[in-house]
Amino acid sequence: MPMSWEMLYAERAHTMKNSEIREFFQLTEQPDVISFAGGFPSPDCFPREFIAEALQKLVLEEGAAALQYGPTEGNWELRRYLAEKMSLEGASCSPENILITNGSQQGLDLIGKVLLNPGDRVIVEEPGYVGGLGAFNNYQAAILPVAVDGKGLCTDLLEKELHSLRNQGKSVKLAYTVPNFQNPTGVTLSLERRRHLLELAGKYNFSIAEDNPYGELCFEGGQLPSLKTLDTEGRVIYLGSFSKTFIPGIRVGWIGAERCLVEKIAAAKQATDLCSNTLGQHLVEHFTRRQSINRHTRRLSTYYRGKRDLMISRMKEHFPAGVNWTVPRGGFFIWVTFPAHINSRDLLLKALEKKRVAYVDGGGFFVNGSGKNTARFSYSEASEEEIREGIARLGELFAEEFGGTPTKGKDRVAAEGR
């Protein structure tokens, strides 16, 4: 008799499902669709000549080590480089504070594995990164969303929530934030709020997962100090990634945290996948050794800034009154808000059908079912020509759908209040 798998699934598996956003991408991948949906880095930015040459060298000259199993914690030289990098940025680190992961997504998973019992409370940003939600949901965490506005996570709302929980005898174990050029909103957590968040973490005794895949793709205004840098109590688990600043296909990210926690996470990782891929780690280490990485990051920032500027200028020119957006100072994403009565998903289906243009409707980034009139636009992958054409077409659709005429160049940054 064929086996009935449904009956064997663990409790935690009942909520596991493919993210709607990823499912939806299949729609956007038809060749005649201009897509602002995906959040992938542009393949134009992959330094292919460098990579081909480096791999050749690694395999032929350092072959055994780069192709063999490696330490669970990761390549020692790469850990040393990352410790130096983080120390230079002000977060004093030694190689023992660093653990290499399969992209920062695995970092989130391992944090969940080591810290979260079913029902443990985790603060997330709303709207926020769906992959973070997914990782913590897999460990049956109780997710508590806190709103994000133009200055990032609203720490005053968080404080109220924490206070109210304490009055009920309840606590929070972890807060998760993408402080720089957040996915999906593009906003950056202000310095004041960074300090406030750390203060709250101390007062209410929780840990912070600081996920920073976009921070180095900073277009203007300079980078704010990381939470890890400001942390004097060892509460912050920093998650870094080479997916946006180098290439994603090798899955190399890292965790920077207190040594005891890194050791615990390493024990968890050992039973999870033994080690991350060594060839990718050696490739990244080679890239950093050549000191070309900073130059490369500056080039990428210039490249993505040009695309952001183009998309924003086209939005100003073509989007009718009533449509607002954020202007990110870095990263990949612009957050668009339509008039309150507009359902962004319905609008998206029309955009796909009538104009062959795609974005991501914003509802999926909210836990509580709100955000129906919002959308995430990514400028990272589309070509300049696609950005010009796609935004103009959407402008036409929006004018048809909810009237108004383009305001021709007026700056309409989304309200920073909430």
Our finding on whether 31 is near its own copies (CB under 8 A) is: no
373 part of the interface to its own copies, by CB under 8 A = no
Does residue 362 bind its own copies (CB under 8 A)?
no
Taking CB under 8 A as the criterion, the residue among 88, 168, 271, 353 binding its own copies is 271
When the beta carbons of 90 and 119 are compared against its own copies, the nearer one is 119
Query: Mask 46-65, x = binds its own copies (CB under 8 A)?
Result: x-xx-xx--xx--xx--xx-
The residue from 68, 94, 164, 302 that contacts its own copies (CB under 8 A) is: 68
In the complex, the smallest distance separating the C-beta of residue 296 from its own copies, rounded to whole angstroms, is 14
Least separation in angstroms between CB 327 and its own copies: 26
Q: Which stretch binds its own copies (CB under 8 A): 186-194, 219-227, 232-240, 393-401?
A: 232-240
> Segment contacting its own copies (CB under 8 A): 37-45, 216-224, 306-314, 320-328?
37-45
| Beta carbon of residue 200, minimum distance to its own copies (angstroms, whole number) | 13
Closest approach of its own copies to the CB of residue 101, in Å: 8
Q: Whose Cβ is closer to its own copies: residue 8's or residue 88's?
A: 8
Provide, rounded to whole angstroms, the least separation between the CB of residue 329 and its own copies.
24
CB 20 within 8 A of CB 364: yes
Q: Is 229 in the site for its own copies (CB under 8 A)?
A: no
Nearer to its own copies, 63 or 90 (CB): 63
Q: Is 374 in the site for its own copies (CB under 8 A)?
A: no
Q: Are strands 207-211 and 152-153 parallel, antiparallel or unpaired?
A: unpaired
One of 219, 230, 248, 397 touching its own copies (CB under 8 A): 248
Which residues, other chains included, contact 322 with Cβ-Cβ below 8 Å and sequence gap of 6+?
A: 338, 339, 402, 404
Query: Minimum Å distance from CB 261 to its own copies?
Result: 5
Q: Applying CB under 8 A, does 255 fall inside the site for its own copies?
A: no
Contact between 40 and its own copies by CB under 8 A: the answer reads yes
Stretch of 79-87, 102-110, 218-226, 298-306 contacting its own copies, by CB under 8 A: 102-110
Number of residues engaging its own copies in binding (CB under 8 A):
87
User: Considering the rule CB under 8 A, would residue 384 count as an interface residue with its own copies?
Assistant: no
307: left (phi over 0), alpha (psi -120 to 50) or beta: alpha
Residue 387 contacts residue 310 (beta carbons within 8 Å): yes
For the chain, what is the HEC assignment? Answer: CCCCHHHHCCHHHHHCCCCHHHHHHHHHCCCCCEECCCCCCCHHHCCHHHHHHHHHHHHHHCHHHHHCCCCCCCCHHHHHHHHHHHHHCCCCCCHHHEEEECHHHHHHHHHHHHHCCCCCEEEEEECCCHHHHHHHHCCCCEEEEEEEECCEECHHHHHHHHHHHHHCCCCCCEEEECCCCCCCCCCCCCHHHHHHHHHHHHHHCCEEEEECCCCCCECCCCCCCCHHHHCCCCCEEEEEECCCCCCCCCCCEEEECCHHHHHHHHHHHHHHHCCCCHHHHHHHHHHHHCCCHHHHHHHHHHHHHHHHHHHHHHHHHHCECCCEECCCCECCEEEEECCCCCCHHHHHHHHHHHHCEECEEHHHHCCCCCCCCEEEEECCCCCHHHHHHHHHHHHHHHHHHHCCCECCCCCCECCCCC
Closer Cβ to its own copies, 114 or 165, answer by number: 114
Residue 287 CB, shortest distance to its own copies, in Å, is 13
In the region spanning residues 297 to 326, those forming contacts with its own copies, defined by CB under 8 A, are none
**Which of 32, 129, 55, 97 shows the shortest CA–CA distance to 261?**
97
Q: Is 241 an interacting residue with respect to its own copies (CB under 8 A)?
A: no
Would you call the peptide bond into 2 cis, given omega within 30 degrees of 0 as the criterion? no
Q: Does residue 274 bind its own copies (CB under 8 A)?
A: yes
Site residues (CB under 8 A) for its own copies, limited to 159-218: 173, 202, 205, 207
Q: Interaction with its own copies in 111-170: which residues (CB under 8 A)?
A: 113-117, 120, 131, 134-135, 137-139
Least distance in angstroms from the C-beta of 254 to its own copies: 13
Contacts (CB under 8 A) with its own copies, residues 4-23: 5-6, 8-13, 16-19, 22
d(C-alpha 178, C-alpha 367), whole Å: 16
88 lines the binding site for its own copies (CB under 8 A): no
Cβ proximity to its own copies, 17 vs 350, nearer residue? 17
